[in-house]
Structure 1
Amino acid sequence: MTITKETYVDLQEKYDKVIKLLEEDSKLDPESEPFLSKYSARQILIGMRANLENLLRTHTTEDPLHKKLTAMLGTIHLYLGMIAIETEETSNGRKHLEKCKEVIESYHVEPEFILVTLNMYNNFGILSYQNEPEESKTYLEKAESLFAEFKRKGVSPIDIADLFKTNIDFYNTDVAVKNFEKIHTLTLYYLAQAYGALKDALRSAVYCHVTLKRQLEMCEYDPIDWALNAATLSQFFMEKNCFKQARHHLAASSFILDEYKKKLDFNQTEPTEVHNAMLETFRHRSADVARCWSKYGLILLSKSKDRLLNHTDDLNTHCSLSTDFSDLNIQFNGNLSQYDLKSLIFEKIPIEEYENQITDQFILTLPDAKKVFLNAQQWSDKAQEYYTLDSLASDFIDIVLDQTQLYLNLLFFEDEPENQAKLHKRRIKLLEHVLNNVNEQYYLQYCRQVWFELARTYADILDIKCDKLRESTDRPTPQSLSKINNLADKGILHYTNFIKSFEDKASKKLPDKFPDDVEKPVLQAYFHKAALYSKYISLDKQIQLKNTEMSLENYKFISDYCEKHPKAKELIAMEYGICKEMVTLLPIKIMKLKSA
């Protein structure tokens, strides 16, 4: 049976209608019928399937048209499967994909079939992702290997749309190749998600990078999304000490955002609602990337501090930490290799200027630490231009807490006690600004963090002042003693506020047992309160007695609590040992003070 031109025209018209329904009309579907266009497309596809099955019955496998008709039928089942998945009919989706697989099984790496094949395995991967990530990975790896197999053949694929065109002698090779590469990029993206679901963060990160790189090279990306994804990926690298790759991805993110802003400014004739929305999105995501840069500086200082603490004898001999991901000894199966680890870069964009803002090496000296600190602080300030206390308080407070950690890590590299005290005071200024400007009821979780940090900071300054007092041969002045007692007051006040925040509002009593996630910090707050009471300086025996009794009361609370809840001893093993000792010793001191 000869297929008439009218038959092809009918199939092409119906295919074009399906694509319009799925890609254009579906975006305008009413909220009450969100799948209206997809259901309409499905009805057309069902009719096309019947027509193609009838045509295939009249053509043997030797017929030149058999392969083309089979590819078209496979496409119909693919689209039916995709629509079922998108309309949350997963079991139907799987049935259609299985039927697609059955139809094209013998031809999956032929030019007419390769795009259908890759799309099919990608959708199998999507379908299995939530509940069966291992199965999802298997499907996606199949798509990855078939892509490589077809690529080695050195022939051009045939685009799916061309299968339904009336003129069967002309294929748009450029479009087919572009779609072939785009489908593979999606495969890599889905593989990154599958490996993430399987808790294989390293492979997930590599696949994320390769996806971003391909998007960049093919100019197939949304600048805002791309920049945000690159910045997000940098977080993984910095947590793994891979600051070279973290910095590179952040630099690429900033470059793409800046290029996007140039286009926004160039295309602006007069403000419009659309342009203002785009500008607002840019400001929002620029602030997010600035936060990532600030986090980079914070983590670099923190990891550098840990490195020095853990390898104080001979860094070069004993320290195996590297800031380069490619130095990690990772074995990859399949298509990823050590070469991929050494080439996690974006060659096509000039980002050296962005990278040169900050080092990617571990910090050893105070001057280098200050450079990192100042850069991170500038990025925090930029983020706070968008995340303000008035409009986005939670994010603002998160940034402040990171800023206080920046100071804390810089302190490690500072040897001069007076300078350390100044850095602590700057932390206090940041934290007290938060307390003075937020509603404690609505931001209780944040206030708890701030109270604890403030108490600890006042205690740290107190230790510096006490050390200075002990080292001095001069008689302490009333002013210096008053400062020490004032620091103890404030430390105790903030630890007390932290503890009282866990009281029941009605009874004003603390729970018999604290929730697991706060049990350790609450007990530590009691421990530090007890220590602060012992640091008051007074010649008045009654005041000494009162402070000693308060110190004992706090130590005893910890001791009694741990006896009642034995597992708590493991949380504060060192503090608990000291508590038991102080509960024994302090009553003797109290008796001496009473009898004096």
Structure 2
Amino acid sequence: MTEVSEDILIELREKCEKVQNLLEGESKRDPETEPYKSVYAAREILSDMKSCLANLKDSIRSSDPLHDQIEAMYGGVLLLLGTLALDTEELATGEEHLMNCLSCLEDQAMQPKKVLVVLKALNQLGLLWSQRSDGNKSHGYLQQAEQLYNDYTDQVGEQPVDVYALFTVPDSGPATTKADSPLEKVHTLTLYYLAQVYGAMDNPLKSAIYCHNTLKRQLESKDYDKVEWALNSATLAQFFMEQNAFRQARHHLSAASYVLDKHDQDLQGIESSEDERLFRKEHLKHRSADVARCWTKYGLMLLSASRDRLMEAEEGQSGDATPRRLRPPGELSGLQFSLLELSMYEDQVTDSFVLTFDDARSVFLNSQQWLTQAKLYYTLDDHASDHVQIIKDYSELYRNLAFFEDDEERQCKMHKRRVDLLEGVVKELNPTYFLTACQELWFELGETYTHMVDIKLAKLEANSDAPSAHALQKVNHLAEQAIAAYNSFLDTLRDHKTKEIPDKFSKELERPGLLIYFYLAGLYRRLVAADKATKLTNLTNSLQYYQKVVDYCQRHEGAKDSVTAELSACQDIVALLPLKMAKLAETVAR
């Protein structure tokens, strides 16, 4: 057994300082042709340190006051070697170093000099197995890290020693608060990795909870990128919307807007070059537009869920005021950022289901404001695909608002506004470059015109007076516009040479294509005919499209599952409609 000389400790300290300088300083200046130049240099030094510390560890007395220190240093070097191996994609080597680190230290992991090394090793192993797509193993290591943090903070509580500090002479240095201590930062990383792993393991609820906790800890530490934080909070809000947790969604969107507004204020006081200032402003404008789009989605989904709630109550599907499927999971309650005062943002829009047109209009107007802000960045010229999606959201807002309107004429005006929005953008797009966008817009235009047809026909049927010629012409005009929109979609499917619709649609277009046949059949039946001959022609066209659905599903058995309800209706109509047409044909022939 030997004692450790001061010279050896000084040499280890100097080597550690070189490693830290290489990894935190020199590596930023590595040439593109040698991106790991500094990493490899640091690894050489660490390998020497590992050999030296291994000899010391084996030869030093366990009673020596430096025994635990040397052991912690050895584990720290193994951690650094393992981390660098993962950085250079040498996964097997990295795993070996990290497992050796755990073998060396995990029995004494509750010691202040060793706990951070063990926590970081567990995090790295969790990350490694996540990269290998083994969620269970990744989760196991990260759960160990979470438990170790909880045990240490409950039972020890002393500020632990970070890896590089193991080799340096202790000094007072700047005081760290609990929130920004190395231990807290490492634990925040553990929670972040767990959020990703739960997502990969198809447990989105737990993933969301861990995402929230990560964001909350970042706020408390004040060590985060404000723009990235805001975007993550807004993205998490979208998950809450999908769970009908509108209170949590609104809160996280409000937090995102609050942080972006604070960042905008901070930028005013930052001295920087003109290029850097412009870059930061553009980056902020971009991400502010993204958050604005999330606010728009909030209004959309709140109106949609409110509509579903009222429809289910009307159909008697639930005796409860809110059906079970529209209730948020209990685990999400209480997920809030207590450090932020957000009432100014939250008070702008409700988080409750809406019941009346006035309530719905208030949500609509709030979403409209955010949508207008998003359009300032996502213009048609510079961001065509995003702009189209924003216009579709705008159309959907009007569709949801129309549900809460009792007056048919005002409903029609809202759908007409949708038509104006959709036609306004589709005429500006070249289908050669924006085929999918054009198809989506034409499909929605067909649906919108059909809504208007149904409203007009329902109004005529409710009126005991004979309809005017103008009213009938209006119905036909709207139906013809719907037919034209659907045909524009079908035309994009035609073969360039033969101009024929293909025998089989592509997988992603099979359901839309068959639905268009079904909708066209219904539209031809809705056309109001001035005489029986015209009516027979309309019914012939209608039957033709119903038959197309039936024939297609007979030729392609797999298509039946995508249009089960529509196919059943088509089969019934194909069986019955010819009889009606035959009787009509007899009267025409007389």
- 2:412 aligns with 421
Alignment of 1:230-309 (within 5 A): 230-267=233-270, 272-309=274-311
Q: CA deviation at 1:499?
A: 1.9
Superposition TM-score, scaled by structure 1 size: 0.93
Query: Which residue of the other structure, out of 181, 205, 210, is the alignment partner of 1:207?
Result: 210
Q: What CA distance in whole angstroms lies between the structure 2 residues aligned with 1:519 and 1:451?
A: 16
Query: Which residue of the other structure, out of 219, 222, 225, is the alignment partner of 1:222?
Result: 225
Q: CA deviation at 1:305?
A: 1.1
Query: Secondary structure of the equivalent of 2:379?
Result: coil
The one-character-per-residue Cα deviations of 1:448-503 (angstroms, maximum 9, x if unpaired) are 11111101111111112222223334443332222222111111111112122222
- 1:392 aligns with 383
- 2:140 aligns with 138
Are 1:526 and 2:517 matched, yes or no? yes
- 2:435 aligns with 444
Q: Counterpart of 1:11 in structure 2: which amino acid? A: L
Query: Which residue of the other structure, out of 550, 562, 581, is the alignment partner of 2:553?
Result: 562
- 1:179 aligns with 182
Q: 1:163 to 1:586 in 2, by over 3 A?
A: same
Query: Which residue of the other structure, out of 352, 358, 363, is the alignment partner of 1:361?
Result: 352
Q: CA deviation at 1:419?
A: 0.7
Q: CA deviation at 1:321?
A: 4.5
Are 1:471 and 2:473 matched, yes or no? no
Q: How many residues align?
A: 582
Q: Counterpart of 2:363 in structure 1: which amino acid? A: V
Q: 1:174 to 1:456 in 2, by over 3 A?
A: closer
Q: What CA distance in whole angstroms lies between the structure 2 residues aligned with 1:132 and 1:314?
A: 42
The one-character-per-residue Cα deviations of 1:382-440 (angstroms, maximum 9, x if unpaired) are 11110010000001111111111111111111111001100100100110011111111
Q: Counterpart of 1:225 in structure 2: which amino acid? A: E
CA contact (8 A) 2:20 2:164 kept: no
Q: What CA distance in whole angstroms lies between the structure 1 residues aligned with 2:464 and 2:322?
A: 41
Are 1:65 and 2:52 matched, yes or no? no
Q: What CA distance in whole angstroms lies between the structure 2 residues aligned with 1:529 and 1:181?
A: 62
- 1:154 aligns with 157
Q: What CA distance in whole angstroms lies between the structure 2 residues aligned with 1:48 and 1:382?
A: 57
Q: What CA distance in whole angstroms lies between the structure 2 residues aligned with 1:324 and 1:35?
A: 52
Range 252-261 or range 528-537, more displaced: 528-537
Range 315-324 or range 143-152, more displaced: 315-324
Q: 1:320 to 1:436 in 2, by over 3 A?
A: closer
CA contact (8 A) 1:162 1:171 kept: no
Alignment of 1:470-489 (within 5 A): 470-489=461-480
Q: What CA distance in whole angstroms lies between the structure 2 residues aligned with 1:402 and 1:120?
A: 46
Are 1:551 and 2:542 matched, yes or no? yes
Query: Secondary structure of the equivalent of 2:526?
Result: coil
Q: Counterpart of 1:239 in structure 2: which amino acid? A: E
The one-character-per-residue Cα deviations of 1:238-266 (angstroms, maximum 9, x if unpaired) are 10011111111110010000000001123
Q: 1:285 to 1:373 in 2, by over 3 A?
A: same
Q: CA deviation at 1:357?
A: 0.9
The one-character-per-residue Cα deviations of 1:104-143 (angstroms, maximum 9, x if unpaired) are 1332110110110110100010001132111111101101
Query: Secondary structure of the equivalent of 2:217?
Result: helix
Q: What CA distance in whole angstroms lies between the structure 2 residues aligned with 1:172 and 1:42?
A: 29
Q: 1:173 to 1:56 in 2, by over 3 A?
A: farther
- 2:122 aligns with 121
Q: 1:174 to 1:185 in 2, by over 3 A?
A: same
CA contact (8 A) 2:305 2:326 kept: no
CA contact (8 A) 2:240 2:248 kept: yes
Q: What CA distance in whole angstroms lies between the structure 1 residues aligned with 2:326 and 2:199?
A: 22
CA contact (8 A) 1:545 1:590 kept: yes
CA contact (8 A) 2:550 2:570 kept: yes
Q: What CA distance in whole angstroms lies between the structure 1 residues aligned with 2:387 and 2:170?
A: 61
Q: What CA distance in whole angstroms lies between the structure 2 residues aligned with 1:534 and 1:105?
A: 76
Q: 1:361 to 1:315 in 2, by over 3 A?
A: farther
Q: CA deviation at 1:320?
A: 4.6
Range 82-91 or range 58-67, more displaced: 58-67
Q: What CA distance in whole angstroms lies between the structure 2 residues aligned with 1:580 and 1:115?
A: 69
The one-character-per-residue Cα deviations of 1:75-118 (angstroms, maximum 9, x if unpaired) are 11100000000100000000110111122133211011011011
Q: What CA distance in whole angstroms lies between the structure 1 residues aligned with 2:471 and 2:565?
A: 32
Q: What CA distance in whole angstroms lies between the structure 1 residues aligned with 2:23 and 2:177?
A: 19
Q: Counterpart of 2:364 in structure 1: which amino acid? A: F
Query: Secondary structure of the equivalent of 1:174?
Result: coil
Q: CA deviation at 1:565?
A: 2.4
Query: Secondary structure of the equivalent of 1:347?
Result: coil
Q: Counterpart of 2:31 in structure 1: which amino acid? A: P
- 1:25 aligns with 26
Q: 1:232 to 1:248 in 2, by over 3 A?
A: same
Range 151-160 or range 537-546, more displaced: 537-546
- 1:319 aligns with 322
Q: CA deviation at 1:534?
A: 1.8
Q: What CA distance in whole angstroms lies between the structure 2 residues aligned with 1:479 and 1:26?
A: 77
Query: Secondary structure of the equivalent of 1:252?
Result: helix
CA contact (8 A) 1:387 1:393 kept: yes
Q: CA deviation at 1:22?
A: 1.6
Q: Counterpart of 1:183 in structure 2: which amino acid? A: V
CA contact (8 A) 1:253 1:289 kept: yes
CA contact (8 A) 1:230 1:253 kept: yes
CA contact (8 A) 2:248 2:333 kept: no
The one-character-per-residue Cα deviations of 1:6-31 (angstroms, maximum 9, x if unpaired) are 33232222212212222232223222
Q: What CA distance in whole angstroms lies between the structure 2 residues aligned with 1:173 and 1:67?
A: 25
Runs (5+) with no aligned partner, structure 1: 331-340
Query: Secondary structure of the equivalent of 1:396?
Result: helix
CA contact (8 A) 1:49 1:76 kept: yes
